Amino acid sequence: MARTIKGNKNVVQSYIFTTAKYDFSAYEKRIMYRLIEYAQDEIKGIMIRDHLHKIEPTLFGREITMPVSDILKNETDKNYKKAKEAFGSLSQKHIEYEDDDVWQLTPIITNPRIKKREGIAKFYVFDEIWQCLLDFTKGYRKYELVTAMGFNSVYSMRMYEILSGQARPLQFTIDQLRDMFGIKPNQYKLTANFKMRVLDVAKKEFECSQARYSFNYIDVKNGRKVVAFKIFPTLNPENKDSASLRARITKQSNYKNTDKSRSLRLSTLFSQLRTCRNQQK
C-alpha cells in the first residue's frame, strides 16, 4: 500500500508537548506525528476526504481511522509487527494530572484495533488529549512531517522537534536531555557514550538526510566534569522544498489567554507526561 505522505508538510506542535518527558519509540512517535497533523487540519477546517482516513467526533473525543502504513518509515518499511506493537504500547502510556481537587489519568490512545487484510488501524483519542494537541497558548514548534517520520533514531526525531524553528543556541544539562529523550537511568551513563549514542547519531542522521536543520554542540564543564551541552542550531536552506522556503520557520503565539485555568491545566498535563507501565506492574 502506498504511503500517504505527499511532499513536505509543516506540522505545528505545541511547545509544551515538545519539551515534555516521554520514552516513545520511533513508531509511537510516528503515530503522534499523525495525530498532530490531524489536529492541525482540524484547526484549519480541512476535512479528510479519502476512504482510508477518518477523524470522527465522539461523545468523549475523536475516533481515528488510518492506514497502518501511515506510521511506517517509507515505502520499503514493511515492519507491520513493530507498528502493531507501537499501537499497543502507546495505549499503555498516560498523561497524569493532579491538583487540590482532582486526580486524573488519561491514556494517549485507547482501544486500538487493526483490520489485518485491509491494513487499517482504528483507535480513540480522549478529548483531554485532543485538546492538548490543539493548544497553542505556550508557543509552538514547526517541523516537517516527512523528514521527522523518516529518521531511524527516536533521538533524531526528538532533537529535530527541539531545534525546529530555533535560531539561538540552546543549553541543556545532561540530566535535562536524558529526561527529554526518555533515556533510562542505566543507559549511556558515561558522557562519551551519551554523546556517541544520542547526540552524534542525531547529528549524523540530520546531515545524511534532507533535514533543513542540523546542529553543532560543545561541552559545558564544571571544572573537568561535563555537566551540560550547548547546542548551536544550523539551517540547511538547500534542503528546503519550495513550499518550505515560503513558510516562516519561527513565530510566537499570543501568550495572553482569557481562560488561564485551562492553559495552566494543559501545561501541567504535558509537563507531567510519562509512562505508567511501571505503576501497572
Residue 20: is its pLDDT beyond 60? no
Return the top range by mean pLDDT from 70-74, 171-175, 263-267.
Answer: 171-175
Residue from 247, 175, 256 nearest 212 by CA: 247
What is the identity of the amino acid at 218? Answer: I
What predicted TM-score, i.e. pTM, was given to this entire model? 0.57
Return the top range by mean pLDDT from 41-55, 151-165, 267-281.
Answer: 151-165
pLDDT tens column, 212-265 = 788 999 999 999 999 999 999 998 766 654 344 334 333 333 333 333 333 333
pLDDT of residue 184: 85
Residue 3: is its pLDDT beyond 80? no
- The secondary structure of the chain, three-state, reads CCCCCCCCCEEEEEHHHHHCCCCCCHHHHHHHHHHHHHHHHHHHCCCCCCCCCEEEECCCEEEEEEEHHHHCCCCCCCCHHHHHHHHHHHCCEEEEEECCCCEEEEECCEEEEEECCCCEEEEEEEHHHHHHHHCCCCCEEEEEHHHHHHCCCHHHHHHHHHHCCCCCCEEEEHHHHHHHCCCCCCCCCCHHHHHHHHHHHHHHHHHHCCCCEEEEEEEEEECCEEEEEEEEEEECHHHCCHHHHHCCCCCCCCCCCCCHHHHHHHHHHHHCEEECHHHHC
What is the identity of the amino acid at 43? Answer: I
For residues 143 and 254, which has the higher predicted lDDT (pLDDT)?
A: 143
- Location of C-alpha cell 549514542: 197
Residue 266: is its pLDDT beyond 70? no
For residues 32 and 236, which has the higher predicted lDDT (pLDDT)?
A: 32
d(CA 40, CA 51): 20
Cell of 238: 538547500
Domains of the chain: 10-137+254-280 (1.10.10.10), 153-246 (1.10.10.10)
For residues 208 and 230, which has the higher predicted lDDT (pLDDT)?
A: 230
For residues 52 and 35, which has the higher predicted lDDT (pLDDT)?
A: 35
Residue from 79, 109, 72, 86 nearest 24 by CA: 86
pLDDT tens column, 186-199 = 899 999 999 999 99
Under 8 Å between Cβ of 120 and 114: yes
Mean pLDDT (the chain) is 74
b/e map of 194-214 (b: 16 or more CB within 10 Å)?
bbebbbebbbebbeebebbbb
pLDDT of residue 113: 94
pLDDT of residue 103: 83
For residues 36 and 195, which has the higher predicted lDDT (pLDDT)?
A: 195
Sign of CA dihedral 95, 145, 69, 79: negative
The mean pLDDT value for 26-44 works out to 82
pLDDT tens column, 81-114 = 888 899 999 999 887 666 678 787 888 899 999 9
The mean pLDDT value for 22-43 works out to 81
Alpha-carbon distances of 170 from 56, 119, 123, 167, 231, rounded to whole Å = 39, 41, 37, 9, 5
Under 8 Å between Cβ of 182 and 193: no
pLDDT of residue 235: 82
Beta-strand relationship, 110-115 and 120-126: antiparallel
pLDDT of residue 226: 96
d(CA 30, CA 147): 11
